[in-house]
Amino acid sequence: MQTNHKGPLGHLSQDEETHLLQICYVMAMYESVARGSSAVWSNSPLKSLKVGAGWRAHLNRVSSWDIGILQNLVVPALELFAPLADQRIVVGPVFSDGEFVGGADGDLIINDNLIEVKCETPGFSGSAVRQVITYALLDAKGEYNLEKCSIYLARYGSLATWNLDEIIHEISLGRYRYADL
């Protein structure tokens, strides 16, 4: 799909977009199962697949209703992120000191901004903010040169961004700076 695609980000034919969203949804189902409990597997549409099932069988597990929901989420994301497409982008960054917490991988880095994508409602929580700050601190070798952290609320098309030094200084009541930690 990528090699055949010409034009700016977000300009896919309806069939290409549907196919890409189906693939993303199936991959998300596998990630959910891999990171979840046995209860996640027991409720997964993947459970009914036969051993050795091909991609068509996988893609058939994604309903048109699910595709419609994803299409609604894509529109504001493209409006927000498409202008940044020529920037330094890292998808799924892995952090150098992640082994200290059993592994840590983020969602997205654009330039110096670590972005965590959240899809739950009603919005971001203190734990989500702590998560993205922790990920930044796990980049102890400075591989990504992070200066900011953000939470993207996919259901709302909203991005909240903080300067890492400022937020760490604030939540530590003035005791620490990002560089110190």
For the cut 80, the answer to whether the pLDDT of residue 102 exceeds it is: no
Q: Examine residue 99 and state whether it is found in any structural domain, yes or no.
A: yes
Q: Examine residue 77 and state whether it is found in any structural domain, yes or no.
A: yes
Q: Are residues 34 and 65 in the same domain?
A: yes
Closest CA to 22 of 61, 51, 52, 53: 61
Q: Are residues 21 and 79 in the same domain?
A: yes
Q: Examine residue 7 and state whether it is found in any structural domain, yes or no.
A: no
Q: Are residues 92 and 155 in the same domain?
A: yes
Would you state the pLDDT for residue 5? 52
Would you state the pLDDT for residue 4? 57
Would you state the pLDDT for residue 11? 67
Q: Is 76 exposed, middle or buried (0-12, 13-18, 19+ CB in 10 A)?
A: middle
Structural domain harbouring 41 = 14-83
Would you state the pLDDT for residue 115? 93
Q: Are residues 92 and 164 in the same domain?
A: yes
| pLDDT band at 132; cut points 50, 70, 90 | very high
| pLDDT band at 163; cut points 50, 70, 90 | very high
Q: Which ranges constitute the DSSP H helices of the chain?
A: 14-35, 38-42, 55-59, 64-81, 126-137, 164-171
